[in-house]
Amino acid sequence: MNVKKGSSRMRFFGMLVFLVLTMLGFAISAYLILNASTIYTYVLAILFLILSTVSGLFNTATSYWYYRSYFYDKHLEGINKTLSPMTSFPSVAIAMPTFNENPKMVEKNMLRLKQLNYPANKMAFYLLDDSTNKEIAEELKTFSKQNGIKYLHRTDRKGYKAGALNNMLSKSKEDYIAIFDYDEYIVNKNFLRDTLPYFQDKKMSYIQTEKRYADGTFFSETINLFDGFFFKFVQPARALNNTAIFAGSCGVIRRSALDAIGGFPEYVIEDTFFSFESDINKYKSIYLPKVYALGKPIRSFSELAKQQWRYNYGDTQFLRYFFVRKNASKKLLTTLSKIDYMTHGFGLNYLSSMLLLFTLTSILIVFSNYPIAHIGIKQFISQSNLNMELELFGVGALITSIITPIILTKTYFGSAKKGFMVFLVNFALVFIRTKAAMSAVLSISPKKKWVRIDKEGIKNGVVAAARNSIFEILFAALLFVLGGAAIMIDNLSGGLWLVWYGVLYSTTFYFFYRYG
Judge whether 448 and 436 are in contact, CB under 8 Å: no
What is the C-alpha to C-alpha distance for residues 207 and 332, in angstroms, rounded to an integer?
19
CA atoms within 13 A on the CB side of 235: 25
Question: In terms of domains, do 270 and 316 share one?
Answer: no
What is the C-alpha to C-alpha distance for residues 500 and 226, in angstroms, rounded to an integer?
24
What is the C-alpha to C-alpha distance for residues 269 and 348, in angstroms, rounded to an integer?
14
Domain boundary among 272, 299, 326: 299
Question: In terms of domains, do 118 and 45 share one?
Answer: no
What is the C-alpha to C-alpha distance for residues 412 and 62, in angstroms, rounded to an integer?
15
Give the model's pLDDT for residue 358.
75
What is the C-alpha to C-alpha distance for residues 128 and 169, in angstroms, rounded to an integer?
11
Give the model's pLDDT for residue 451.
52
Apex CA 39: angle with CA 35 and CA 43, to 5°? 80
Question: In terms of domains, do 132 and 278 share one?
Answer: yes
Distance from the Cα of residue 483 to its chain's centroid: 32
**Cβ-based burial of 392 (10 A; exposed 0-12, middle 13-18, buried ≥19):** middle
Question: In terms of domains, do 262 and 391 share one?
Answer: no
Give the helix/strand (H/E) hosting 441: helix 430-441
Question: In terms of domains, do 436 and 469 share one?
Answer: yes
Question: In terms of domains, do 148 and 276 share one?
Answer: yes
Q: What domain range is 464 assigned to? A: 301-516
Give the helix/strand (H/E) hosting 204: strand 204-213
What is the C-alpha to C-alpha distance for residues 332 and 279, in angstroms, rounded to an integer?
7
Judge whether 337 and 307 are in contact, CB under 8 Å: no
Question: In terms of domains, do 233 and 314 share one?
Answer: no
User: What's the total number of domains in the chain?
Assistant: 3
Question: In terms of domains, do 147 and 44 share one?
Answer: no
Question: In terms of domains, do 255 and 120 share one?
Answer: yes
Question: In terms of domains, do 469 and 508 share one?
Answer: yes
Enumerate the H helices of 69-115 as residue ranges. 72-80, 103-113
Enumerate the H helices of 102-207 as residue ranges. 103-113, 134-146, 160-169, 191-195
Question: In terms of domains, do 308 and 292 share one?
Answer: no
Domain boundary among 34, 64, 82: 82
pLDDT in tens, the chain (516 residues): 444 445 556 556 656 666 666 676 677 677 767 776 677 777 777 777 777 777 777 777 777 777 788 888 899 999 999 998 888 899 999 999 999 999 999 999 999 999 999 999 999 999 999 999 999 999 999 999 999 999 999 988 888 899 999 999 999 999 999 999 999 999 999 999 999 999 999 999 999 999 999 888 888 888 888 778 888 888 998 899 888 999 999 999 999 999 999 999 998 888 899 999 998 888 999 999 999 999 999 888 988 888 888 888 888 888 888 877 756 556 666 777 887 888 777 776 666 777 777 777 777 777 665 433 333 334 444 444 555 555 555 555 556 556 656 655 655 556 677 777 888 888 899 888 888 888 888 877 766 555 554 444 445 688 888 888 999 999 999 999 988 888 887 777 778 878 888 998 999 999 999 888
Is this model's pTM higher than 0.75 or not? yes
Domain boundary among 299, 329, 362: 299
Give the model's pLDDT for residue 398.
59
Q: Which residues pair with 457 in a beta bridge?
A: 454
Question: In terms of domains, do 124 and 255 share one?
Answer: yes
What does each C-alpha distance from 254 to 91, 197, 219 come to in angstroms?
11, 12, 37
Judge whether 113 and 149 are in contact, CB under 8 Å: no
CATH number (domain holding residue 180) = 3.90.550.10
